[in-house]
Copies of this chain bind each other. A is one copy, B any other.
């Protein structure tokens, strides 16, 4: 690797210059036992509100470790207001979706149990750790929120109507991204169905709602996790912060 890998952690407390931060137990384990840091070693901390700070290991004993926060190195920057709504997949594919969505700058992630989705639950604690880790590694300044898993009907019932819901339509009926980019401005959510697609009933409901838009990603069949990554990438390039 060319670049020295900076150690970068999310801070569960709001940070300021010249405070100290006591990492979580898992973070202390990581810094002490995995990275084997010693007194004076550098750790970058971001708090999702005030920005990113350089800190150093100040106090280290058998069980504890404190970080002394020094200078702010980056101002806080909010990621675009784009949600990903996806049907839970087999475990490793859900892992891929969560990790990549964070890298691609999603702001909220909502699992939705559609008719043909696997019945596998998204394990909340594990998923939140993965999301936080992906945020740390992608150097974004905020950690996306994992919303609670809802059924398709609940999702529709509670949908905030000022947010456009863009669903990926595998039936070939959807519009291409380039043709509708001007309608995809924030706030937006991208909805990706499961491997089996949406049911006929779900498609009928989606078609009729006033805040939905149907898009297509070409004629080839994409796996659900590929479709989620591809859709987020296209949105970033046409409407988000890759412009």
The answer to whether A237 and B139 touch (CB under 8 A), given A1-B116, A216-B242, A220-B103, is no
Contact A237 B177, beta carbon cutoff 8 Å: yes
Within 8 A of B (CB), among A152-210: 176-178, 195-197, 199-200
Contacts of A221 in B (CB 8 A): 103, 137-139
Interface residues of A in 202-243 (CB under 8 A from B): 216-223, 226, 229-231, 233-234, 236-238, 240-243
Is A33 an interface position by the 8 A CB rule? no
A72 CB–B CB distance under 8 Å: no
A96 on the interface (CB 8 Å rule)?
yes
B226 pairs with A104, CB closer than 8 A: yes
B242 touches A199 (CB 8 A): no
Cβ–Cβ contact B105 & A218, under 8 A: yes
Let me know if B139 and A220 touch, CB within 8 A. yes
A61 interface residue per 8 A CB criterion: no
In contact, B105 and A178 (Cβ under 8 angstroms): no
Whether the Cβ atoms of B116 and A2 lie closer than 8 Å is yes
Q: Across the two chains, which residue of chain B brings its CB closest to A77?
A: B219
> Does A148 sit at the interface, judged by CB under 8 A?
no
In the complex, chain B residues whose CB is within 8 Å of the CB of A105: 218, 220
Residue of B nearest to A135 (CB): B220
Q: Which of A24-65 contact B (CB under 8 A)?
A: none
Q: Are A238 and B178 in contact (CB under 8 A)?
A: yes
CA A138 – CA B223 in complex, angstroms? 8
Q: Given the known A-B contacts A229-B229, A233-B229, are A220 and B178 also in contact in the complex, defined by CB atoms under 8 Å?
A: no
Interface string of A1-19 (1 = CB under 8 A from B): 1110000000000000000
